Amino acid sequence: MEPDRSIPLDRARVLAVDDHAINRQFLVATLAGAVARLELAASGHEAIDCCRSGRFDLVLMDLHLTDMDGVEAWSRMRQDNHIAAARVLALTADTREQQRERVQQAGFHGLLGKPIEPEELVAALKRALDPDEDFIVATVAAKHGSVLIDQQRALRASGSRNGAHSIQRALAEELERGWPQLEHELATGQFSAAAARLHQWRGACGYAGAGLLDRACRGLEEALGSESGSHCGAVYFELRRVLDATTDAIRLVLDRAGSESATDPAPNAAY
């Protein structure tokens, strides 16, 4: 049963489900002061548990969770009476037409592309809380793929300079840990696992302002999906080059921020 009247966003109870820490950090920075209550879940099972102990007006659901598909998680959550009146928006870097059709058929009320701008996310939530709204689509603008590190983009995503640095540091650490795993997946033919890892990195790259790396990850992810891992050598080496350059740029940003004798980079600096 759908709610019969619109709920103001500042009175809404929102559950955000995402298994990536950087994405959750973005959601907190954007929504904590905009909604009445924000709860986070890092997995589908955790989201189901949250719904058993509380009621929500709106659910933001990542579609690529590590423990279960986001559509499956929503299906299980709807079986609980506490979630029956909630509306749900899918969050994903895959906004292709077939994905839109899939989530709409599964009872979702909208599909939002990652990375999404904070103001676009807030606007989408306001629309989603109106029962008269049709299926909502917010795709990602292509303008964030031209520089290594866009500090203005990171500042918008995090809400503060310290927040931007925290997201960028977390991304650099994740890339350092995850690259050997990605290489192993590619070398052993685990192309689905490699594509899933690249897909997860893409959203984090967007919030950290790492536009070129976002684009490079997308290139290899699409190559793996369309060619089953064959003839991906050039795309792989481009990703390796951009990844190294991006982590170097992040180190430069963090070193400058931490140096008392150096001038902090301007909010709109790009590398």
- Name the pTM for this structure: 0.83
> Residue 120: is its pLDDT beyond 70?
yes
Which tens digit of pLDDT belongs to each residue from 155-176?
999 989 999 999 999 999 999 9
> Residue 15: is its pLDDT beyond 70?
yes
Specify the number of domains making up the chain.
2
172 and 101 inside one domain: no
Give the range among 39-48, 56-65, 77-86, 238-247 with minimum mean pLDDT.
77-86
Whether 145 is covered by a domain: the verdict is: no
| CATH number of the domain to which 68 belongs | 3.40.50.2300
237 and 186 inside one domain: yes
The residue type at 238: E
Q: Which of 111, 140, 169 is the last residue of a domain?
A: 140
182 and 126 inside one domain: no
Span 146-159, average pLDDT? 89
> Residue 129: is its pLDDT beyond 80?
yes
CA 135 to each of CA 1, 9, 95, 106, 112: distance values in angstroms, whole numbers, following the listed order: 16, 18, 13, 12, 11
Q: Which domain holds residue 210?
A: 151-258
Which tens digit of pLDDT belongs to each residue from 262-271?
454 555 555 5
> Residue 182: is its pLDDT beyond 80?
yes
Q: CA-to-CA distance for 8 and 102, rounded, in angstroms?
A: 28
Q: CA-to-CA distance for 254 and 110, rounded, in angstroms?
A: 37
Burial class for 37, CB neighbours closer than 10 Å (0-12, 13-18, 19+): middle
More confident residue, 180 or 85: 180
> Residue 82: is its pLDDT beyond 60?
no
